[in-house]
Chain A
Amino acid sequence: AQSVSQHNHHVILSEAASLELGCNYSYGGTVNLFWYVQYPGQHLQLLLKYFSGDPLVKGIKGFEAEFIKSKFSFNLRKPSVQWSDTAEYFCAVTTSGTYKYIFGTGTRLKVLA
């Protein structure tokens, strides 16, 4: 069965620092990849997604992620974080032909002002 691993459980950064959150999945076939974010007190919402094409995907609020098929990875990046980026970030995968989303355990990001 497919699974998603997020190795960073808690990350603390100062404002303006660069961010990279790791995401690895286990599935050998075609996948669709997602990052969702949950800001404090809010619903989970989509940050960005990859289905096909350019492996470098840009999302909202300056976030981007790169799909590296050979490494089964979809790491999330942001060059300069802001205090408002404090949230929990979840990586997710679906496999081609299904709508079953498998999520990672999440990474709690705290940005210090």
Chain B
Amino acid sequence: GAGVSQSPSNKVTEKGKDVELRCDPISGHTALYWYRQSLGQGLEFLIYFQGNSAPDKSGLPSDRFSAERTGGSVSTLTIQRTQQEDSAVYLCASSPSGDLLFFGSGTQLSVL
């Protein structure tokens, strides 16, 4: 595709439910990132994948959060047993070489 695609664009869920957020990076980009954007917190690093290397998961806030990247392309961020504090915009970005990030439009997650 022409850019980084994220789905869904909006997700409303009930507290305690699991959610899956999808990111389709730009074809050929080896690096893929997940960030969480919330008011006053800026862009919080969650996880990044670089080629076939083990992902850097150092930003995941709890073991309820996990992410995978299949075939070096599409990535899914899963949040289990969602809490209200998980409400935020989840941004995905990809990069061909690490010197420039291309961002998607994000998934607005609302946990009721």
Please list the residues of chain A having a beta carbon within 8 angstroms of any beta carbon in chain B.
6, 9, 32, 36, 43-46, 49, 51, 90, 92, 94, 98-106
Select the residue from A44, A90, A99 with max chain B CB neighbours within 10 A. Answer: A99
Measured CB to CB, the closest approach of chain B to A104, in angstroms, equals 6
Closest-by-CB residue of A relative to B53 is A99
Cross-chain pairs A/B with CB under 8 angstroms, 23 sampled: A36-B101, A43-B103, A43-B104, A43-B105, A45-B103, A46-B100, A46-B101, A51-B99, A90-B42, A98-B98, A99-B31, A99-B50, A99-B95, A100-B56, A101-B101, A102-B45, A103-B35, A103-B42, A103-B45, A104-B42, A105-B40, A105-B41, A106-B43
What separation, in Å, do the CA atoms of A92 and B33 have in the docked complex? 14
Closest-by-CB residue of A relative to B43 is A103
Chain A residues whose CB sits within 8 angstroms of the CB of B35 once the complex forms: 103
Please list the residues of chain B having a beta carbon within 8 angstroms of any beta carbon in chain A.
3, 31, 33, 35, 40-45, 48, 50, 56, 91, 93, 95, 98-101, 103-105
Which DSSP category, helix, strand, loop or mixed, fits chain B's interface?
strand
What separation, in Å, do the CA atoms of A90 and B99 have in the docked complex? 16
Chain B residues whose CB sits within 8 angstroms of the CB of A99 once the complex forms: 31, 48, 50, 95, 98
Select the residue from A36, A45, A46, A101 with max chain B CB neighbours within 10 A. Answer: A101
Closest-by-CB residue of B relative to A4 is B42
What separation, in Å, do the CA atoms of A57 and B75 have in the docked complex? 34
* B100 pairs with A101, CB closer than 8 A: no
